[in-house]
Amino acid sequence: MARKDGTGDVEVGADAQGDEHGGGTDDAIYAKIHAAIAAQDLPPGTRLREDEMRQIFGVSRARIRKVFARLAYAGLVTIEPNKGASVFQPTPKEAREIFAARRGIEGTIVRLLAGRIGKAELATLNRHIALEVAAEARRDWHEMVRLSGEFHLLLAEIAGNDILLRFLRELITREALVILVYEKPGQPSCSHHEHQMILEAILAGDAVRATALMEEHLGNVEERLDLDRDTRKSVDLGRLFAGR
């Protein structure tokens, strides 16, 4: 059933989701915005204007608000009264908190994995590190950040704890925004050499060393950031999501 919102625009009621008109499900819209943030295509602080976003996805204001609320719950979007939604803009304090949380979660993950990685899983991790090496050789910093996050998520997936995996996925997505804002020019935030050392300690069954190396690795990533720097970039939302 159609109705008018406070601005006088006609909206589609909840009983007519608009999927048949190409709007897609709420989950699909959420996934597209989430992926754009994780891929650093939506810079921190980007305004997600409600009217523009609902037109891009062909849905009602109510539905785009629902998606924004989910993204805000995940910590990826900030919603302010009278200002609307924008991509999470991490402060230096929030950046440090993200790394502190990762240390706790990933220390547990490597302890779970120590001495328990099978041949197929090892082959997957080795192939992934090879991709990181190739990205560094090409000096493809954007791809290096993406692959680095995926390496940590692969470890979490192999560990088999779905709760830790879910928390880590959101933290890594938020960290991508931290890196986009604060990474020092010419200094990649993550090292495949350190990934290799962590993997070797896990394979050796040395949980203490693997944990120490992971904590050191994440500390090094944090040290490579300039947490006094702040920058914003503009983005064409229509063009971005048309490609997705």
Which residue, among 217, 148, 231, has the nearest Cα to 184 in the 3D structure? Answer: 231
Q: Are 18 and 60 in contact (CB under 8 A)?
A: yes
As assigned by CATH, the class of the 26-87 domain is: mainly alpha
d(CA 185, CA 231): 13
The H or E element that residue 79 is part of is strand 77-80
Query: 70: which 2 tokens?
Result: 């989910």
SS3 state at 161: coil
pLDDT, position 239: 80
Q: For 194-226, how does the pLDDT look when each residue is reduced to its tens digit (9 = 90+)?
A: 999 999 999 999 999 999 999 999 999 898 888
The mean pLDDT value of the chain amounts to 85
Average pLDDT over residues 144-162: 95
Of the two residues 22 and 116, the one the predictor is more confident about is 116
Provide the β-strand partners of residue 48.
85
Residue 74 CA to residue 101 CA, distance in Å, equals 15
What percent of the chain lies above the pLDDT cut of 90?
61
End-to-end CA distance of the chain: 29
CA-based nearest residue to 152, from 103, 207, 206: 103
pLDDT at 82: 87
Residue-range domain boundaries for the chain: 26-87, 92-223
d(CA 214, CA 104): 10
* Position 19 pLDDT exceeds 70: no
Record the tokens describing residue 191, joined without a space: 């090292």
CATH match for 92-223 among 1.20.120.530, 1.10.1740.10, 3.30.1050.10, 1.10.730.10: 1.20.120.530
Contacts of 106 (CB under 8 A, 6+ apart): 152, 155, 156, 168, 214, 218
Confidence (pLDDT) at 4: 40
User: Are 71 and 50 in contact, with CB atoms under 8 Å apart?
Assistant: no
Query: Span 140-158, mean pLDDT?
Result: 92
pTM of the predicted protein model: 0.71
User: pLDDT tens digits, residue range 31-65?
Assistant: 999 988 887 788 888 999 999 999 999 999 999 99
pLDDT interval class at 235 (50, 70, 90): confident
Which span out of 25-39, 40-54, 97-111, 230-244 was modeled with the highest average pLDDT?
A: 97-111
Nearest-angstrom CA–CA distance, 60 and 54:
6
